[in-house]
Structure 1
């Protein structure tokens, strides 16, 4: 949305987005049957609750432009990436039988955390969540394992490279060196990972003992050797990563203008590659493999329907933030500067993080990146602490809610499809407030 429009929007324009979030939080608890059958309609309703008044106030053409802009530049690339990763990772099956005890579970979390920076939080999460769920199928207490999986694999693990998380990829496109985050985010990430893995191991050990240290019952998988079925999908996964990297590093100079929205050739090619990798995965992976991998299309359908409502209804929130000191949230923007105009790194960390918890963490990162001057060379050197604060806030605090980062909601959906009764929206936030926020306070005091 043009900055001029962002300056004209009052905070009340954010009400449909707030109601969309409340619907996700309340309906699954208050009316689960209704929600399961009608969540797509509810998502569409809150989208229209914003778009219809907006069109009546600012004109149909501008409303149509905003829809086209969000669909072509944000939602469609977002859902294509998730679809490709979901489909390809769903064809990789860990054979044999992992036993979900504290040592094994902690090891899987560690492996996923390491992989996340190099294949993306979504890729690592989609690859490992099913094997982890199968390993713990015999356990009574499983929710904590999925919650810590979201904390570590779906968020904090993506801290070290632009491949790890979309905010860092945007920074890379803006000129931040590929390995800048590797060197500057390593210690804060290591600090969080060590503490979270330690907390998880202690909690899982207590619960494992409380369950009577259950042994996994013998299954057909127990006769298989530990290994991978559908290994060809790893090649398709590499193709996805290569397509994403290509779109960031190659500037074709060719654009397609679709209703005043400029779509770059390299991004069209990237999306075509991603769809192609997904189709190849479907062709070369047997149905039997996917069945044994507990593959089901519902999670991607649920994410697709809910997130189009989120993307459309949050248009005014992002626009107001982009308007900076001229917008209705000027008070928020001015909090990141001291009396002499110097950056207040702690506020950059918390504001980027809190807003990333509820808005898309990629545009939130970009808002504060630009608020800090937008000069990558300066931000990497004389303002390195400020860029660290923005990067850490966007990546780490995406773990605060189910919608803070793309894979969070999908991991939740896959877990529920597998029979794990996951916490509600606010129930999950109770976990993040109780465990993550105190750790983030320590990160700010030590590293920011």
Structure 2
């Protein structure tokens, strides 16, 4: 409720005539010190759950707000209230609200579908669930697929003493790599779709890399899970009779309809062109985006009202994971503003070395560096704006990028989607899956503990992919 009031007050302030002009930050004139709040927030997310877990659990929202204020207050002092409000409103309306509304809709709809049945988490079943999730992720989004499958997967493996690897590989495959084939799969690809990249382009051009990465990860998981299962101190459940076993099925089937509506609304917003534009503090919001967001809110409300409470109870549905993601990403979307501005400044900005690194001496794109630069930044920045930065660095013309510079666009797309799995904050579903797993008693690794998994498993695969494709 506090967040709603805060957003409403901000909206009213943004309409004041004195603050009606947007003031985009000139990244070339910013010093690296402007990135301190963002770096501080990332370090807080990484270290405080490890060093002060009880404090972080109860006050992570306040810590996030403090870092956001550490950016906004100097912005007011150095650039004035108008610039601060304009940048705040732009982050709120153009980036954060569409992002969190879509995530909330997918979270609610997927949380209203209960997969029932007597599932026993054998290596073969676990691998099959991960493979199904990888396919679903490109058509219902990594968030939707993650929220649909993580609960039954954890439930199926409740008898096992070692399950952390299952959740980690789930994040690798379902929450990230699986969403690489269509614009519905992951926000960076959706932004590319909005910029003019054909809907089928990613499927036709990235499937070899996606098939390689997902296939190798599934094989690695099956071998690891088989070994850990054989050496697990806990015994498999005693086989049940056919009468005692619960048949497979779905409760809350109406939510499949709502899921189709979500997909339709997202597609509509990308394909529908309208001249109707609403301007607030310099931020333009098009009618298709408004219709999409209002429709998604309606879908979430209807899903909550019409889904039987027994389904939510079976799913142990709660708002904790969504609240954590919403609060943390509110801070990330604010404190990332100067970082993105400095990247957009190109060779003239503080991060000019990064931009120069993706260009060969003859002026042609360095495809391998595009893959790694996009991926490295997507591991810790939000992968959607990072995708846009390098999309524009490569020229920003979708027709050219889909044809003459197709290898460059493949590298940017693959780096943004695949390497979002490198850290918990690389992609929003990562944090949501982690929170749900912890709610169910899984002792998930810390921020750096998770990165030991990603660096040890994913990075070598990315090196191999570089030699093969980039």
- Tell me the TM-score normalised to structure 2 length: 0.93
Structure 2: segments with no counterpart, 5+ residues: 1-21
Does residue 140 of structure 2 align to residue 137 of structure 1? no
Distance 1:222 1:212, change over 3 A: farther
Relative to structure 2, which stretch is displaced further, 222-231 or 69-78?
222-231
Secondary structure, counterpart of 1:257 in structure 2: strand
Residue 62 (structure 1) aligned with residue 86 (structure 2): no
Give the 3-state SS of the residue equivalent to 1:139 in structure 2: coil
CA distance in 2, matches of 1:325, 1:239: 43
Change (3 A) 1:5 1:411: same
Structure 1: distance between partners of 2:74 and 2:396: 33
Q: Indicate which of 73, 78, 87 corresponds to 2:99.
A: 78
From 31, 47, 50, give the equivalent of 2:68. 47
Indicate if the aligned counterparts of 2:24 and 2:83 stay in contact, CA closer than 8 A. Answer: no
Per-residue CA deviations over 1:229-256 (Å, capped at 9, x if unaligned) read 1111010011111111111110121111
Residue 54 of structure 2 is matched in structure 1 by 33
Once the two structures are superposed, residues 363-413 of structure 1 have per-residue CA deviations (whole angstroms, 9 ceiling, x without a partner) of 111111111111111111111111111111011101101111121111111
Q: Secondary structure at the match of 1:163?
A: coil
- Per the alignment, residue 419 of structure 2 pairs with 397
Contact kept, 8 Å, 1:3 with 1:323, in 2: the verdict is: no
Picking from 208, 215, 222, the partner of 1:187 is 208
Residue in structure 2 matching 1:326, options 348, 361, 364: 348
Q: Does 1:425 align with 2:447?
A: yes
In structure 1, the residue matched to 2:3 is none
8 Å contact kept, 1:415–1:422: yes
Check 1:417–1:445 CA distance in 2 against 1; reply closer, same or farther (3 A cut). Answer: same
* Local SS of the residue matching 1:94: strand
User: Residue 364 of structure 1 aligns with which residue?
Assistant: 386
CA contact (8 A) 1:6 1:316 kept: yes
Task: State TM-score, norm by structure 1.
Answer: 0.97
Residue equivalent to 1:178: 199
Q: Could you say if the C-alpha distance between residues 218 and 257 of structure 1 is closer, same or farther in structure 2, counting changes exceeding 3 Å?
A: farther
- Pairwise CA distance, 1:212: 4.9
SS of 1:214 mapped into structure 2: coil
Deviation at 1:214? 2.5
* 2:117 maps to 1:96: yes
2:309 to 262, 287, 294: 287
- Looking at structure 2, the residues matched to 328 and 212 of structure 1 have their Cα atoms a distance apart, in angstroms, of 53
Query: Residues 50, 213 of structure 1: CA spacing in aligned structure 2 closer, same or farther, 3 A cutoff?
Result: same
Q: State the SS of the aligned residue for 1:291.
A: helix
Q: Over aligned residues, Cα RMSD in angstroms?
A: 1.5
1:435 to 443, 453, 457: 457
Q: How far apart, CA to CA, are the structure 2 residues paired with 1:91 and 1:49?
A: 38
Deviation per CA, 1:126-161: give whole Å up to 9, x if none.
111111111111111111001000000010001111
The corresponding residue for 1:210 is 231
CA distance in 2, matches of 1:48, 1:264: 29
Report the count of equivalent residues. 447
Distance 1:21 1:222 in 2: 49
The answer as to whether partners of 1:400 and 1:436 remain within 8 angstroms in 2 is yes
Q: Distance in 2 between matches of 1:150 and 1:235?
A: 26
Larger CA deviation: 154-163 vs 167-176: 167-176
C-alpha displacement of 1:311? 1.0
Give the deviation of 1:92 after TM superposition: 0.2
**Superposed counterparts of 1:331-350, under 5 Å:** 331-350=353-372
Distance 1:360 1:2, change over 3 A: farther
Asked whether the 8 Å contact 1:43–1:309 carries over to 2, the reply is yes
**Partner SS, residue 421 of structure 1:** coil
1:289-328 equivalence runs, <5 A = 289-328=311-350
Equivalent in the alignment of 1:8: 29
1:252 aligns with 2:291: no
**Partner SS for 2:463:** helix
Which residue, 244, 255, 259 being the options, matches 1:233?
Answer: 255
Residue 295 of structure 1 and its aligned partner are, at CA, apart by 1.0
8 Å CA contact 1:4, 1:323 repeated in 2 = no
